[in-house]
């Protein structure tokens, strides 16, 4: 057993100063406020202990991508060093053969424990709101293709983003939900009514709210308002100061509450790298001043953010407890991870130790120190 003490700890969603927890193997055995019941094996008197971050939408990092079978471990390790202990690896729009190959590679990574699941962002998206996806490879959802993808994944797919206005979307939503997959509305040109219909059919996530969807308008509210107004919907936010203005991030968290907002990086291979040229699937990307855009356009192409950076940004505005919800608890719940996202007895021993500046000092995953403090 390992006892960890810290000057500040967010336990069971509450901030304690000081606080402690005890791990046994890969689980949390006990936790509490005040000094620990025995001498700590790891003491961080100036540190803050929070749950490991859960990133439900990330394409790569550290120079590698989840679309590259040889790069999966490197991307996951890069984000682990930034506190992400649970990763939903995201695939972009691809041809049918490439999609199946990518799903099979990531399903193997899920079995090995490298990543926790798969998020398909495409190919069943709107060409009008393609963002950094290749519109030539987008297509309407086809029952045979969906069945083939689900078979290839063997249960590893946790979430699929689709545009609900596409032909065949209703049947696709029903099929995915029947398979235990979370359906997210995104990269969509849907009307308010079409988004409401998808939510009524069981869609429970809004993919990177405001990005790659019609803007909110007082006569044409579009999908953003439909996603925001339903209590059963979790909305993703890329709170990097590029995808949405910090005031918008504050407003959304204030309106929906931190229990309905999941911060996501949407990071690409360029995260952690110098400016330069990269690819997102088949699409060439240029990164300048840390901002990724489709080559030759002003279109934002994912991010170069990490979850610790997003945590710092939100904690400064809404406090530690809300920052923990939006970076750990809420995304874990949104995609059905029931043993991560909180420092609570019985949960996996996934945690991040932050220094006085809320920068990563140490990371534990499944009871093992992966970044030493």
Assign 3-class secondary structure to 243-278.
Answer: CCCHHHHHHHHHHHCCCCEEECCCECCCCCCCCEEE
| Residues with Cβ within 8 Å of residue 247, at least 6 apart in sequence | none
pLDDT of residue 161: 98
Q: What is the average per-residue pLDDT within 93-105?
A: 97
Q: What is the average per-residue pLDDT within 251-273?
A: 97
Neighbours of 217 (CB within 10 A): 11
Cα distances from 221 to residues 128, 184, 191, 252, 371, in angstroms, run 17, 18, 8, 15, 45
Which ranges in the chain are annotated with CATH 3.20.20.140?
53-335
The yes-or-no verdict on residue 39 having pLDDT over 80 is yes
The whole-angstrom separation of Cα 162 and Cα 183 is: 7
Q: What is the average per-residue pLDDT within 270-274?
A: 97
Superfamily of the domain at 53-335: Metal-dependent hydrolases (3.20.20.140)
Q: What is the average per-residue pLDDT within 326-345?
A: 98
- Give the H/E segment covering residue 60: strand 60-61
The yes-or-no verdict on residue 82 having pLDDT over 90 is yes
CATH of 2-50+341-372, one of 2.30.40.10, 3.60.110.10, 3.40.640.10, 3.30.360.10: 2.30.40.10
Q: Has 16 been labeled as part of a binding site?
A: no
Q: What are phi and psi of 25, to 5 degrees?
A: 65, -125
Q: Has 132 been labeled as part of a binding site?
A: yes
Cα distances from 176 to residues 76, 186, 201, 207, 353, in angstroms, run 26, 15, 11, 16, 37
Which of 240, 272, 238 is closest to 76 using CA atoms?
272
The yes-or-no verdict on residue 373 having pLDDT over 80 is no
User: Catalytic positions, please?
Assistant: 266
Q: Has 208 been labeled as part of a binding site?
A: yes
| pLDDT range class, residue 372, cuts 50, 70, 90 | confident
3-state secondary structure 114-172: CCCEEEEECCCCCHHHCCCCCHHHCCCCCHHHHHHHHHHHCCCEEEEEECCCCCCHHHH
Residue where the block lists tokens 């053969």: 97
The whole-angstrom separation of Cα 185 and Cα 230 is: 13
Q: Has 118 been labeled as part of a binding site?
A: no
Which ranges in the chain are annotated with CATH 2.30.40.10?
2-50+341-372
Neighbours of 13 (CB within 10 A): 18
pLDDT of residue 240: 96
pTM here is 0.97
| pLDDT range class, residue 70, cuts 50, 70, 90 | very high
What are the pLDDT digits (tens) for 169-202?
Answer: 999 999 999 999 999 999 999 999 999 999 999 9
Q: What is the average per-residue pLDDT within 58-68?
A: 97
Q: Has 325 been labeled as part of a binding site?
A: no
Verify cis geometry, omega within 30 degrees of 0, for the bond prior to 123.
Answer: yes
Which of 345, 352, 295 is closest to 320 using CA atoms?
352
The whole-angstrom separation of Cα 262 and Cα 373 is: 27
pLDDT of residue 201: 97
188 three-class SS: coil
Q: Has 211 been labeled as part of a binding site?
A: yes
Q: Are 70 and 369 in contact (CB under 8 A)?
A: no
């Amino acid at each position: 057993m390992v006892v960890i003490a810290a000057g500040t700890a967010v336990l069971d969603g509450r901030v304690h100063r000081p606080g402690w927890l005890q791990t046994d193997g890969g689980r949390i055995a006990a936790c509490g406020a005040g000094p620990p019941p025995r001498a700590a094996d790891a003491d961080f008197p100036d540190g803050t202990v929070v749950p490991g971050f859960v990133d439900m939408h990330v394409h790569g990092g550290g120079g590698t991508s989840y679309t590259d079978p040889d790069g999966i471990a490197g991307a996951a390790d890069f984000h682990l060093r930034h506190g992400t202990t649970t990763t939903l690896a995201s695939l972009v729009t691809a041809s049918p053969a490439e999609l199946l190959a990518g799903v099979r590679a990531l399903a193997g990574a899920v079995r090995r424990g490298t990543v926790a699941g798969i998020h398909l962002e495409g190919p069943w998206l709107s060409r009008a709101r393609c963002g950094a996806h290749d519109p030539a490879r987008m297509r309407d959802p086809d029952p045979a293709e969906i069945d083939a993808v689900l078979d290839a994944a063997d249960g590893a797919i946790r979430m699929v983003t689709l545009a609900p206005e596409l032909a065949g979307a209703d049947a696709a939503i029903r099929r995915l939900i029947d398979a235990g997959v979370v359906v997210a509305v995104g990269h969509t040109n849907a009307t308010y009514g079409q988004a409401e219909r998808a939510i009524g059919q069981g869609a429970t996530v809004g993919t990177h709210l405001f990005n790659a969807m019609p803007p909110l308008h007082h006569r044409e509210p579009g999908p953003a308002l439909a996603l925001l107004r339903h209590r059963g919907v979790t909305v993703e936010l890329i709170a990097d100061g590029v995808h949405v203005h910090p005031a918008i991030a504050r407003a959304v968290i204030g309106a929906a509450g931190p229990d309905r907002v999941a911060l996501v990086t949407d990071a690409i291979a360029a995260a952690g790298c110098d400016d330069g040229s990269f690819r997102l699937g088949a699409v060439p990307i240029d990164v300048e001043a840390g901002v990724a855009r489709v080559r030759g356009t002003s279109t934002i192409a994912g991010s170069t953010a990490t979850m610790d950076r997003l945590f710092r940004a939100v904690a400064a505005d809404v406090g530690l407890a809300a920052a923990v919800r939006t970076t750990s608890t809420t995304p874990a719940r949104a995609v059905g991870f029931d043993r991560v996202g909180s420092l609570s007895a019985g949960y996996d021993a996934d945690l991040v130790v932050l220094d006085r500046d809320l920068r990563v000092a140490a990371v534990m995953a499944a009871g093992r120190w992966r970044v030493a403090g």
